[in-house]
Structure 1
Amino acid sequence: MPISFASRLDQVETSAIRELFKLLGKPGIISFAGGFPDSAMFDVEGIREATQRALSEEPGSALQYGATEGYPALREQLAGYMALRGAQGIQPEDLIVTTGSQQALDLVGKTLIDPGDKVIVEGPTFLATIQCFRLYGAELVSAPIDADGVQVDRLEQLIAEHRPRLVYLIPTFGNPSGATLSLQRRKRILELAVEHQTLIVEDDPYGALYFDAPPPASLLALSAQVPGSRELLVHCGSLSKVLSPGLRVGWMIAPPALLAKATMCKQFSDAHTSTFAQATAAQYLRAGRMPATLERVRAVYAQRARTMGEALRAELGGAIDFVQPHGGLFIWARLTGAGGKLADGSAFARKAIEQGVAFVPGAPFYCAHPDPATLRLSFATADEARIREGVARLGRALDA
């Protein structure tokens, strides 16, 4: 007898990115597709030392079941880490540890979204968020963005029109857009939250990966300047892009009532994030190695981003348009069709695979009204020589 699946699965489909990875086994392929940090950038020695300290200083608790809210030592360290990033006054009890920030987003969906609820997201936005919120029955509304992030005037109109359950944003070095919300727009969004009593979810996995000047303060940090906004703000953070994805350590900062419900739902899901991973992360943060690690990673990614931008301009010229990123992992680009060249991202992706290079077409990153000419390129995992060669292959693919 065929298995009958839950109807909510009708709202989602397999990730286009995961499907693309199946094509990457071709020998010699250069991939700009993944949203991964470079494993060569991992501070293996620092993580090894942190692991050893966790096992020697706290073996019983590091290897045992733990509190759903998170390992106490890690919650303390994360509160301190947030203070260093400008969010003052965060206490350990103000956050829960999640299995990556992806679980934090899932908990937002579980605790807040009923079928039919309106949820505003950026267009484009993180693909997994689109899938996650749709799984819980959300009706997604797309808010347009530009180089300075979400267009706040348009966002205000959409909030007034749809009265959404929440607004989900990646304000800093967005995935896939690479865009960074300006300081003026950040403050206005917090004001809108208070004026319309609308919950804002700030996803911030990339904020520490700036190249030159630091980005504007997070919405969480700025909320102290807008009375009443902290109570309408959820902040999701992660160590995946700055330390190691394999540790699966993220966190959620939210109003107490929401944290309590999220903790209850997490109990049903995984009981708690790996205590061993949490103890390791706590030891790493306590050792004070993060600033040096970030400085090294920023320098490498900054150079790779510059190299990719220069190569794209040299190899594709006016056939592609993009804003040079100031941080994060991605270049978001748009095919212009100049000179009669191809202007469809999906068709271009297929031609690129034939030339031995991969990227992700942009259309899946939109919850509605996709722009088929867009594409996402990650510069994080290829060195400069492979970036130049990969972009040269893109040029050949566009001419094919």
Structure 2
Amino acid sequence: NSTWVPINIHRLIANIVFGGTICGAYAAFRFLSAENDEERARYDWMGYVGNFVALSAFIVLPFAGYYLGREIYAFNQTMGITMMGGFMSWLWIIQAILIGVLFMGSNYYLWLGMERIPGSERYRGYVPIMIGVLALGFIVWATPRSMVITLEEARAMGGTHHPVLGFLGVMSAKNTAVNIMILTTFLSFVLYRRANRESTKAWARTGMAVQWAAFGAAAAVVIFYGVYGYFVESIVRIGFSVYQVLAVLGTIVVVMAIDIPMFRGARSTGQIRWGTIAPRSQYVLVLLAVTFTWLMGLMGFARSGIRQHWHVYGVLRDTSVDAVTPALGYAANMISIVTSVFFALVLFIFWLGGLAEKGAAGAHGHAAAPVIAGGRDDRA
């Protein structure tokens, strides 16, 4: 089974993201219902940990998706074309919007988190630039190849492809956009990680220069192959995505390999003020959980639906009368209903958990907050 290994890798990483977002959503629920600063500090820290776990896995999740998509195309190009350019193609526009929400939401939470970190002021000037890069990447990522237009509009344009925006609808543009968004998100995390720390290493300036050079080189490689992809055949263009992925992954490895020893034993500019983050950040955590759960359902349908009337595509046909793939609208509605029911149950469990904890606190006295929630500035 050509896709067995990549689908397992993709699902494993996605489940880590899912668990992190649910943890963050629970922390957000408890933060917003907290009755004192100690509880807010505890659940602020818990929300950060949940978001950190989710974001760490989410950054590498698209690469696992590339691996899976490449194996699907290698197994059967018709199957891949059906997934990306056939009746499933508009599902990927929805996916693009949801992924954009995840990228923007994760970064927004990190930027809000900087406000509770003394010393982070020196990095806040980067935020408007990163917002612009993410917004531009989001626009490119969500631009469809074929427009939903009337017959008269198609005749006026000379086809369903927009003469200008149509160039942004192909995978060269989209791979470039999502890789730049991943780099930007990783930069947000790096700045957050060092927000209240100053390196005392003699080689710190050189190390930072190498890190910035790695970011610049990766961006250059991604953009170069994104533009070059317009001038080569599709089979060659698909291979370019590997170079883009390797450039981004290489940068992540190089930057962290320098950052960890460079900030070991660093001088602190102040302790994190857990519990003082803006309340709107907690709604972002809930948004991330709902969005990712919905996305998992939609993409699960895409993965299963591309088989169409085959048990094993092109090998073993499903001859039963029920061998039919639901329409996108029907599938999206059902997945949305399931997601809503799931979160209604999750919310009920959150509420029960809060009641149980309050009952235990009332019976045994007020529970102490974890040490890390009291203000330690250790971050992964």
Shared fold (TM-score, shorter chain, > 0.5): no
Structure number with the higher helix fraction is 2
TM-score, normalised with respect to structure 2: 0.23
TM-score, normalised with respect to structure 1: 0.22
Point out the structure with max Rg over C-alpha.
Answer: 2
Structure number with the higher strand fraction is 1
